[in-house]
Amino acid sequence: MGPASGTKHSTHAGITDYRLHLYLSYDRASPRAISAPPRRRSLLLYFVQGTLLLHIFTEHFFALKRGDGPSMLPTAEVTGQWFLVSKHHSRGRGLHVGDLVIFDLPFHRDDMGMKRVLGLPGDYVLVDAPRTPITATTSDELMIQVPEGHCWLVGDNVPASRDSRLYGPVPLALVRGKIVARYWPWRDRRVFGPALAAAGPEANKKVRFGVSTEVKTPDITGTSRKRDGEPGRRQPVREGEKRRKIQQPGT
């Protein structure tokens, strides 16, 4: 009775000590230490949140795209230039004739192209495939009407551009956005103004992030564009008048 009873009491005391040890250990642990996530978990959470915000911004607001190829010379160089693209105009929303857009190539969806809008649904455009002679004899055969839900895209460097003249009207669903600015290289930064600005009186001005600087156009005719009688007009000199002016000092 004696040894068995001592063993029973010692076992009970051991269980009590173990429970007391667990209670004291739990009590010493602060709630802040238990609820605080590890540093690695916090960094991962911030990374995931930043990635999601960046994806939302580039898909629905603005994106950065690089221009490659000679088809848009001189608006865009062959390589090394980056453009700011407005995603608000994706799928053709708010586009006008003359806008610069990026789009998924109809024959290769993994690649994107950069072209200028020359026709919207309902517009009549001239069909002239590059390096293909025009054999049509009537105006109906030379022009087509852009179908509903499509646009007509052509590169600024016409001889080196593969565009709608080759593969026809492009579905507006393939338009990824409108190019609103060129920001790199920084010395060539430029904000692209209204779509048809080049056809109006502001044709000789280039917009650089809100500051317009006049671009002088070379005068190849020998006369200025001012009207007769205005100061600064350079009249063309005829050959006979030139000879008389040269001979005047000797007379």
Catalytic residue among 86, 90, 115, 161: 115
Distance between CA atoms of residues 240 and 72, nearest Å: 45
Report long-range pairs for 172-175 (Cβ below 8 Å, ≥24 apart). Answer: 172/91, 172/92, 172/95, 172/121, 173/91, 173/92, 173/149, 174/103, 174/104, 174/106, 175/89, 175/90, 175/91, 175/92, 175/95, 175/101, 175/102, 175/103, 175/151
How distant is the alpha carbon of residue 112 from its chain centre?
11
89-131 pLDDT, tens digit each: 888 888 889 898 989 988 877 788 889 999 999 999 888 754 4
H helix or E strand, kind and range, residue 187? none
Q: What is the DSSP string of 143-157?
A: EEEPPTTEEEEE-SS
Task: Please provide the average confidence, as pLDDT, over all residues in the chain.
Answer: 69
Question: Which domains occur in the chain, in start order?
Answer: 2-58 (no CATH), 62-211 (2.10.109.10)
Q: Report the length, in residues, of the chain.
A: 251
Check if 71 is active-site. Answer: yes
1-35 pLDDT, tens digit each: 555 555 545 555 556 666 656 555 555 555 554 55
- pTM value is 0.54
Check if 30 is active-site. Answer: no
CA triplet 62, 175, 159: central angle to 5 degrees? 110
Instruction: Name 207's Cβ contacts closer than 8 Å, sequence gap at least 6.
Output: 190, 191, 192, 193
Catalytic residue among 10, 35, 42, 71: 71
pLDDT grade, residue 199 (50/70/90)?
A: very low
